Amino acid sequence: MAAISTSDLKNGITLKIDGGLFTVLEFQHVKPGKGGAFVRTKLRNARTGAVIERTYRADERLEQAIIDKRDTQYLYRDGDDYIFMDQVSFEQVPVSSKSLGEATNFLIETGRAMLISYDEEIIGVELPASVELTIAQTEPGVQGDRVSGARKSATLETGYVVQVPLFVGPGEAIKVDTRTGEYMTRA
């Protein structure tokens, strides 16, 4: 573990605080007119996603956690585990659905993902900004229903339900934003 000063903080750095892993979302160096300088931070728990705010004295030492990011390809699901293949070593890595969280809604076979690990423990996954998924089921658009911006529910091949425009039908491929889970466009 590398100890860094609060003056060396940058957005995206992962810190080990009180036994947990936290990623720096924002930081602000504050020098009030009276008293010592301090650093106000906004941190996201890497395991749970909870966001907290902490304040540290200037030049206080914090423990930096070195995380590993591996480029992988999703292969298949085996019970409660998702099996990924490392693109460099071709090693198969089982990952629990708990570690993946909401990302399971956008995983399709042969899809790419960046696995984030700390001390051999998978703590998260980064997906591409958008993925192409096929609509498994949706009601057909009603003739004459031309309300501007009208939406209907559609179940995707992964089981995720998204709101799509009325003109989109079953079997069509659409692009879905993995950050928000919303329909973007037809593929």
Could you state, in order of their start, the residue ranges of all structural domains in the chain? 2-64, 68-126, 131-186
Minimal CA–CA distance to 132: which of 107, 163, 100?
107
Topology alike, domains 68-126 and 131-186? yes
Is the pLDDT at 144 greater than 80? The verdict is no
* CATH number attached to the domain at 2-64: 2.30.30.30
* CATH number attached to the domain at 68-126: 2.40.50.140
- Alpha helix ranges (H) inside 48-164: 97-100
* CATH number attached to the domain at 131-186: 2.40.50.140
For residue 124, what are the CA distances in angstroms to 2, 9, 22, 164?
21, 22, 12, 28
pLDDT of residue 72: 92
Is the pLDDT at 50 greater than 90? The verdict is no
Interval 8-20: pLDDT, tens: 888 888 888 888 8
Interval 58-92: pLDDT, tens: 888 989 888 888 999 999 988 888 899 998 999 99
